Homo-oligomer: A and B are copies of this chain.
């Protein structure tokens, strides 16, 4: 009764090459070897046979497991049977590799079969020239719908939306709608609600299918439609739309243009991807990696990481100049050089903790008015409390290690100062970036660690210099 065997009926004969996924949900190595053998031997019929039961996302996973050459061989072997929606499930670099290698005519044929939102997803990253050639090979209606979606800004609701939806007039009865649904052949693949519109396609109400199903045939639509519905604007950012979905537990939402006309719908499966991307973006920005996938090439990876490392080199050199100010002090007491990274490292970690909580709260829009003031207060108190705890700990360790109580006191004082600084800047830096309309995730880490490094080294070496009269 496992999910995967259910997706591929008949493939439950044991742990051999007929089973697509192993118990841990990974693609079965034997299955993959057999596919490879079929591809090598050009046995197109066998390839089609083993690929046939797979869902688009499974095909995507298979593509990611294959070498670049095998991927193309698979797509070519399947030819007309290749479901292009599988390409929406693979990393961008793989998608572009495959699409660049295929003739535009083949892509046009594949794209014509897709829902509008999947088609846009495949086309938006292509070169203008290729995109135009593919568009011009499509039927007029599809071409116009795709062009309209592509005209909306990147990452907007309009880009992500599906332009197929079911709009009905308010004066129909439930029976009329059911008859219409049964007769009409050109319906969206999947839909979760009906849109009640006037002649100008302004939304008057929505009707979830479950509510619709519970209602007798004779009932008029406008008697049962929901009038307190959510709509998103086509030029709205997809992350804003995602927040509406989460806030109101939506499964589908109508998308309207600037004049309020219903032009498409967003469904939850697109939004799940957006939520994932958004969280992923926060994590990666905090660590200083760009929009990077595991399948990116070595050169792309280097390019994505160098800028962040350059900034870090710059700040590290700056910090080292701060240490350089205390050359003479260190010369007289080498123990300071040995101990100073402890103060900086603790501050850096405490700062990262505060910063991470703040960045996540900002990106989930959890920080308004009162909560900001409360959070600042809390983080400063946490800084003081943790500062005192770790001042005592490191003070004792240091005093014992060097048999020098005064050195323990000095490092303790520096620790308290740096932990309070860490808490304060850990929250103020992302808040300030947010106020300046910058993404708080991107630059907070470098600012925060620079501050805790500078203050950590400066406080420790400075206080030690004064205390022991080393200046």
Q: Is the CB of A272 within 8 A of B294?
A: no
* Contacts A279-B279, A353-B288; A233 near B305 (Cβ below 8 A): no
Q: Is the CB of A294 within 8 A of B375?
A: yes
Q: How long is the Cα–Cα vector from A64 to B361 in the complex, in angstroms?
A: 13
Of A96-104, A119-127, A137-145, A335-343, which stretch is located at the interface?
A335-343
Q: Is A260 an interface residue (CB 8 A)?
A: yes
* Contacts A276-B279, A356-B283, A369-B65; A349 near B268 (Cβ below 8 A): no
Q: Is the CB of B341 within 8 A of A316?
A: yes
Among B330, B338, B355, B385, which residue has its beta carbon within 8 angstroms of that of A298? B385
Q: Is the CB of A302 within 8 A of B57?
A: no
Give A259-290 interface residues, CB cut-off 8 Å to B.
260, 268-269, 271-272, 275-276, 279-280, 282-284, 286-289
**Cβ contacts under 8 Å, A6 to chain B:** 228-231
**Cβ contacts under 8 Å, A438 to chain B:** none
Instruction: Select from chain B the residue with minimum beta-carbon distance to A213.
Output: B181
Instruction: Select from chain B the residue with minimum beta-carbon distance to A378.
Output: B298
* Contacts A210-B191, A272-B268; A346 near B228 (Cβ below 8 A): no
Give A43-59 interface residues, CB cut-off 8 Å to B.
53, 55, 57-58
Q: Is A178 an interface residue (CB 8 A)?
A: yes
Q: Is A435 an interface residue (CB 8 A)?
A: no
Instruction: Select from chain B the residue with minimum beta-carbon distance to A232.
Output: B3
Residues of A in contact, count (CB < 8 Å):
133
Give the distance to chain B from A171, nearest Cβ to Cβ, in Å: 20
* Contacts A190-B208, A191-B210, A283-B360; A244 near B338 (Cβ below 8 A): no
**Cβ contacts under 8 Å, A199 to chain B:** none
Give A144-188 interface residues, CB cut-off 8 Å to B.
178, 181-182, 187-188
Q: Is A197 an interface residue (CB 8 A)?
A: no
**Cβ contacts under 8 Å, A337 to chain B:** 323, 330, 334, 337, 340
Of A73-81, A248-256, A463-471, which stretch is located at the interface?
A248-256
**What are 17 inter-chain pairs, A to B, with CB distance below 8 A?**
A2-B233, A55-B248, A57-B248, A57-B249, A191-B210, A268-B272, A280-B360, A283-B286, A288-B352, A289-B353, A289-B357, A294-B367, A297-B378, A298-B382, A301-B379, A305-B353, A330-B330
Nearest 9 interchain pairs by C-beta: A279-B279, A287-B356, A337-B337, A249-B269, A209-B209, A316-B342, A316-B345, A294-B361, A3-B230
